[in-house]
Structure 1
Amino acid sequence: MSAPGLLVAAPRSSSGKTTVALALMRALTRRGLRVRAAKCGPDYIDPAFHQAATGRPSFNLDSFAMAPPLLDALAQATVSDADIVIAEGSMGLFDGVRAAESRTGANADIAARYGWPVVLVVDVSGAAQSAAAVALGCRLYDPQITIAGVILNKVASARHRRLVEAGMARAGLPVLGALMRDAQLVLPERHLGLVQAGETADLETRLDRVADLAEAGIDLDAVVAAAGGGVTGAGGTLPQPPGQRIAVARDEAFSFLYPHLEAGWRGSGAELIPFSPLADEPPPDSCDVCWLPGGYPELHAGRLAHAKRFLDGLRAFARTRPVHGECGGYMVLGRALEDAAGVTHAMAGLLPVETSYHRRKLHLGYRVARLCGPSLLGRRGTRLIGHEFHYASELLPVAPEPDALAHVTDAEGADLGFAGHRIGIVSGSFFHLVAEDQA
């Protein structure tokens, strides 16, 4: 029997979804429930927090980037061996791209597909009864989803709470609880989102604190009772590995590898062998491919430039075995990286790329890529779906087709030209892979 689920969503970003979701995950886990988590959309940071809160892996569920068979396979893996699923949304509940119905990437697509009722987190700072009008709009906007109730966030006082609750009562929306305004609840952030779980000081203490507040301010029994829906069928297969023994860079500079990719690779029998460039470790010689994930090399450029064993070992590895870099990994495969202070640091020099974090420009959005030639990502012509999310600029011209990794468009089909590089058996781009396009 499939475990019931809930989607923690909000009318807009920065409403407190992550805080409330983690509070519920940790509080229910402490009660002895087997809680599994999920993250809607392309986010590679929050799932690590989910795993810390529940003790179990968390997968992304993305209705745009993942074809239905893959989506259902991940959902099935999420509900297995669980008493309840807590999925966390991204951005606003209905925010997505213009695409086919149910394939927009919006949180609401996931809630509708699996019948998971929505717990709506409403930031009530600067509003009282008017907050109910926003919540009511969410309830009426899409008849395919159910709003189970609201959790009020950033409540200023007991009087403020009474006024907000009066509006919710008028709108017929149950209030499942409230969290008071508290600066200590805010998790530390940096330019790509939350500071990573592994870097967050006193994470266990923070998780227990928000769980304590959930126990005190949220009707957890009502939250559990509101869960519903379910996942039927086993879905498709998870992504296949690029090699049998995969050297994966993993430390504070390299960590953005989606959990479903790792699960798919391991499920197909591949071994993932971690190594730390920041500790000046080269890719293990026993591996047959090397994968440099995204992360924050721009924050550690000086250390990486002086990591001689890592850089020499990476160059030696690349002479005989394939290497691929995503986003931050792509920057390190290049010739040079300019940090925030404008200081230029030499990198591996395996691709004709120079990047700058000093000349910041936001690049954000889904990408549909067609590979220009064979690489660790697939054969020539393979279509992949992923995204970009970075602030770095490329200082050299984009590679022409023979040397480019892929030709890319955005989610609506707008031509973005060629992206990345593919020089021999070394490849990379700012593109974060989510799945192969099976449309």
Structure 2
Amino acid sequence: MTRGVIVFVDDEPELCQAAEDWLGVSGFTIATFTDPCRALDAVDPAEVDCIVTDVRMPVVSGLEVLRHFRQVDADLPVVLLTGHGDVALAVDAMRQGAHDFLQKPYDADHLVAVLDRAVAQRRALQELKRLRRGDGAATMEDRLVGQSLAIAQLRRSVLHLADIDVDVLITGETGTGKEVVARALHDFGARSQGHFVAINCAAIPETVFESELFGHAKGAFTGAAGERIGRLEHGRGGTVFLDEIESMPLALQAKVLRAIQERTVEPLGTNVVRPIDVRFIAASKVDLREEAAAGRFRSDLYFRLATVDLQIPPLRARKEDIEMLFTRFALAAAHRFGLPHPHLDAVELAQYREQNWPGNVRELKAAAERRVLGLGAGSAAPTAPDGSSTLPELVARFEAGLILDALRDANGVSAEAAEKLGIARRTLNEKIVRYGLRDHAQ
């Protein structure tokens, strides 16, 4: 997944080349134009995530570029590049719908930060439109959302393994999305037309476990009024997902191991061995190797499942994905509840990025839904005695607010903001990065 498709328009060829080099290395797909007229004719807004254009150009100005694309696609972000004397002009352009502006000479890292936010906004709005149309999640990027290296690698692994008929073990903390990964392996593979049978091993009582999984004949036990096909056999041609497999009793693990190895089941009350054509995917929130070493899980079952072990990173290891995930969850919740999507400013999003989210993506989704419902995002993190937040979070929130106010008063000039705050410019820049406020600084 590209970091974003960017069109860069500037009549100075060396600036176009520099932008192409830097943004290309940073993971963006970029097209540059020194002739704005050609850009207006050649660019299809549906294929682009953001337009970056100089303000002062011969024949066609950046403001005309802005107005053109705003008319064609009002949701397409346009970022303006201005000279020192054009700041008032750029502020006026913001009122006309420009996403942001950068003063030349701009900092390359700052440009990347602005583009990341523009791309996230663009894709979030496209997601909202998709939700309103009722479309399904058609791509892997729709299923496993994020721009971090960790999630990009996971997407590549899932796509690679989807069509390979090998059993897979998925390991990750609670709430990281193990079933989402399992469904993606099923839906993007050759077995997608078959059943996806999800079995929560912790939720099935041991007394009925064999009957549930393997089926039974009529009269096999008291209450067995008729024949029943087990869930493993029901998954024929598809996928069986064994969730929380670490909770499976040891006595039953041997029977499940045999079914996995032999690809057969023997329903209770019969001597008939039935073949099953399924792919097994198991998930665990603990390290099964350690569980096996401690005698709490069968080592032979672990080694049978762990031919491929997909590790899902916790949310705290992919914090750069939090804004995109939160925005997507909020859009989906707003659509589902028939409520407006809340405005999320940089300070609020920075606070979300600073949280540890022990419940991972599941907790983040619940927070986004509470935010849409007007109940506050909330957090499972420890709180202060008054229930508001922890002391470090309160301090960070207060500090980020002061910095944002200073930047606004200084029209984004970090040197002036640093002087106003009484701190070194380098210190301020470090805090701007920490709180995700680079879009507000020059």
TM-score when scaled to structure 2?
A: 0.26
TM-score when scaled to structure 1?
A: 0.26
Q: Which has the higher helix share?
A: 2
